[in-house]
C-alpha cells in the first residue's frame, strides 16, 4: 500500500471516529467539570439536613424477644436479619427485619421499644411531619406522593418501598423521601443532585439504570476513543515525516 493511500485511510478513520465520539467526549468533559467543581455535600443535601437530637441513655427498654413472640402470633418468622433502635419523634422504636425463608421475603416490623407494643408503618401525616423535622430550611410542603414502585431512572431508584416523596416549595426543589415501613428518612434529592444524576448517566453511558459502569457501550466507546487518539498520533508522525 502506498504511503499516500495509507495516510488517506488513516485520515478517514480519524474523521469518522471524531464525529462518532465527539459528542460523547463533550459530555465526558462537561460531566468531569461538574463533578470536580461541585460540593458533594450540597449535591447529597447534607447542608439541608436538620440536627436530630439522639436518645438519652435512661431508657427502660422492652426485651426484643417478647416482641418477636408477638410477631409470631400474626406472621411466620424464622429468621431475624436486623434489629435497630431508632426514634420516631423522640420516642424509641425497635425496627426489626425478619423473614420466613432465608433468602427472600424480608419484612419490617416496628415496635415501641419501651412498651413492646407493635407499631404500624408511618401514615402520610407522620411521614410529612418527619420530612419537615429533618429539613433544616424553612419551607412549606408543595407536594406529597406515595411510591410503591420506581424505575431505573427515578431519583429514588433501588431504595426501600413503599415511601413518601415530600417535595418542598424551596428554590432547590428538594424532595425528602421517607420509607413508610422503616419509619426513617432515606434520601434528599435537589436540583444539583438531578443535574449530577443526568451527567452521571451520560458519563457512564448506562441509559437503563444509570449506575452500571461496566456496560458494553461504555467499553466500546472507550476502545474507539483509544483508536481515535492513536490514529491522530499516526497522522501527526506521518505528516511530520513527509515534511
How do residues 232-242 score in pLDDT, each as one tens digit?
676 666 665 55
Query: Apex CA 69: angle with CA 58 and CA 127, to 5°?
Result: 60
Q: In this model, does residue 143 exceed pLDDT 70?
A: yes
**pLDDT band at residue 8, thresholds of 50, 70 and 90?**
low
**Residue 146 near residue 167 (C-beta atoms within 8 A):** no
| pTM of the predicted model as reported, rounded to 2 decimal places | 0.84
What's the rounded mean pLDDT across residues 72-81?
93
Per-residue pLDDT tens digits for 49-58: 999 888 988 8
pLDDT at 220: 80
pLDDT (tens digit per residue) in 216-227: 888 887 777 777
Those residues whose C-beta lies under 8 Å from the C-beta of residue 117, and which sit 6 or more positions away, are: 111
Report the C-alpha gap between 226 and 239 in whole angstroms. 20
- With cut-offs at 50, 70 and 90, classify the pLDDT of residue 92: very high
DSSP symbols for the chain: --HHHHHHHHHHHHHHHHHHHHHHHHHHHHHHHHHHHS-HHHHTTGGGBPP-PPPPS---PPPHHHHHHHHHHHS---EEEEEEEEEETTEEEEEEEEESSSSS--EEEEEETTT--EEPPPPHHHHHHHHHHHB-S---EEEEEEES---TTSTTTTS-SSEEEEEESSTT--EEEEETTTTEEEEEE-HHHHHHHHHHHHHHT-TTTS--TT-HHHHHHHHHHHHHHHHHHHHHHHHHHH-
Given a contact cutoff of 8 angstroms between Cβ atoms, the answer to whether 95 and 183 are in contact is yes
User: How do residues 21-40 score in pLDDT, each as one tens digit?
Assistant: 777 888 888 998 999 999 99
Q: How far is residue 104's CA from residue 173's CA, in Å, rounded to a whole number?
A: 36
Using the predicted structure, report yes or no on whether residue 134 has a pLDDT greater than 70.
Answer: yes
CA pair distance 227, 96, nearest whole angstrom:
54
> pLDDT value at position 165?
98
Angle, helix 216-242 to helix 3-37, in steps of 10 degrees: 130
pLDDT value at residue 214? 82
C-alpha cell at 28: 465526558
Amino acid at each position: 500500500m502506498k504511503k499516500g493511500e495509507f495516510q488517506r485511510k488513516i485520515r478517514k478513520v480519524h474523521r469518522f471516529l471524531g464525529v462518532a465520539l465527539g459528542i460523547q467526549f463533550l459530555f465526558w468533559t462537561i460531566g468531569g467539570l461538574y463533578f470536580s467543581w461541585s460540593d458533594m455535600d450540597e449535591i447529597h443535601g447534607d447542608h439541608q439536613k436538620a440536627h436530630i437530637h439522639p436518645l438519652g441513655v435512661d431508657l427502660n427498654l422492652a426485651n426484643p424477644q417478647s416482641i418477636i413472640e408477638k410477631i409470631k402470633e400474626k406472621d411466620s418468622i424464622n429468621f431475624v436479619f436486623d434489629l435497630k433502635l431508632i426514634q420516631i419523634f423522640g420516642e424509641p422504636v425497635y425496627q426489626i427485619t425478619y423473614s420466613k425463608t432465608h433468602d427472600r421475603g424480608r419484612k419490617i416490623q416496628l415496635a415501641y421499644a419501651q412498651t413492646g407494643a407493635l407499631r404500624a408503618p408511618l401514615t402520610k401525616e407522620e411521614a410529612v411531619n418527619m420530612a419537615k423535622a429533618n429539613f433544616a430550611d424553612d419551607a412549606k410542603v408543595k407536594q406529597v406522593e406515595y411510591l410503591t414502585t420506581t424505575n431505573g431512572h427515578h431519583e429514588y431508584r433501588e431504595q426501600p418501598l413503599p415511601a413518601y416523596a415530600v417535595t418542598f416549595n424551596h428554590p432547590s426543589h428538594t424532595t425528602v423521601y421517607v420509607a413508610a415501613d422503616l419509619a426513617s428518612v432515606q434520601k434528599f434529592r435537589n436540583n444539583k443532585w438531578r443535574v449530577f444524576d443526568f451527567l452521571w448517566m451520560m458519563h457512564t453511558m448506562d441509559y437503563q439504570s444509570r449506575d452500571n459502569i461496566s456496560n458494553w457501550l461504555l467499553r466500546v466507546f472507550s476502545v474507539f476513543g483509544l483508536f481515535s487518539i492513536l490514529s491522530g498520533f499516526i497522522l501527526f508522525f506521518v505528516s511530520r515525516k513527509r515534511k
